[in-house]
Amino acid sequence: MHKVSDLMLEVEEFVARQCGKFSLQDMYNELGITGKIDKKHASIYMIALTERNIIERDPAKSGIYRTVLRDIDEIDYKNAPETIFPMLWPLHIEKLALMHPKTIAVVAGEPESGKTAILLNVLYLNNERYEDQSILFSSEMGAVELRSRLQLFQRDINWWKFKAYERSGDFADVIEPNALNVIDYLEISDNFFRIAGQLKAIRDKLEDGIAIIALQKSEESKYGRGGTFGAEKARIYLSLDSISSHSTRLHIIKAKNRASAINPIGLTRKFSISGGTILTPLTDDWERDGEDPDGRQG
């Protein structure tokens, strides 16, 4: 049996270590609370912590609590620099939508639709601007395949400046806060709703840099795995659909920061892919798919 004073201190220390939801049973297990009297005293003290607004009950499930998080990060908008993250996109997407520091973009596509080609072209177009400040995290390509695809750009292999690493998950642990980070691709096989949390974790690690992240998607969907959850944190969201074995349609699903008076949302463009790398537009300009006739940004 615990001393009441000791038990109260242990409960408070347990609660202080929690982040988000926890259960009474979690607390009992960790603190070794087994007897009815100890459980009663612990429960009484949990009520006191609730009244002090340190924790709150889950209204939908008995015995579940969450810590009340008061820490917030102030947005110093008055001293924020009036800058964008200068970069080039294939198909001149930068003329339609802008990226700011500490933001992410998503490129969602079916298998063989050109996700990797888009990302390699991002690295190609920004190679000299960012030199060793651009990074590729690849979940599929090894050194031999990557080299062979880069050689299709008709550049000496030593011209390339970006760093490349093999990685398939936990990208927030390795992201470079002030670099151009390219992730090909973020793998997720179940619990797709968690994609929003993974993208948020990546965004939270960014400072002056950005991340461009590829996601797999199914043929019938315009969103990648995770659905609209994957679009929540993205400032630009691109969707790729295969038209044939060598051509793809790119669809701008989301673009929070316009580069001009033209609304990018709903614009599409077809392009061909040669060698899995070289992109060639198949239309003279962008076309509108009619999904956003009122021009709302969303």
pLDDT tens, position by position, 61-113:
888 888 887 777 777 777 766 689 999 999 999 999 999 999 999 999 988 88
CATH of 90-288, one of 3.40.190.10, 3.30.450.40, 3.40.50.1580, 3.40.50.300: 3.40.50.300
Please state the pTM of the whole predicted model.
Answer: 0.72
Residue range(s) of every CATH 3.40.50.300 domain in the chain: 90-288
Give the pairing of strands 210-216 and 103-109: parallel
Helices (H) and strands (E) in the chain, counts: 7, 13
What CA–CA distance (Å, rounded) separates 85 from 260? 16
Average pLDDT over residues 221-248: 84
Residue range(s) of every CATH 1.10.10.10 domain in the chain: 4-67
CB 226 within 8 A of CB 190: no
Q: Does domain 4-67 have CATH number 1.10.10.10?
A: yes
The predicted-structure confidence for 165-212, as pLDDT tens digits, reads as follows 998 888 999 999 999 999 988 876 665 567 778 888 899 999 999 999
**Which amino acid type is present at position 120?**
L
What pLDDT was estimated at residue 293?
38
- Torsion sign (Cα): 198, 149, 97, 243: negative
Spell out the alpha helix ranges (H) of the chain.
4-17, 24-31, 36-51, 115-125, 127-130, 143-150, 195-205
Helix, strand, coil percentages for the chain (3-state, nearest 5): 35, 25, 40
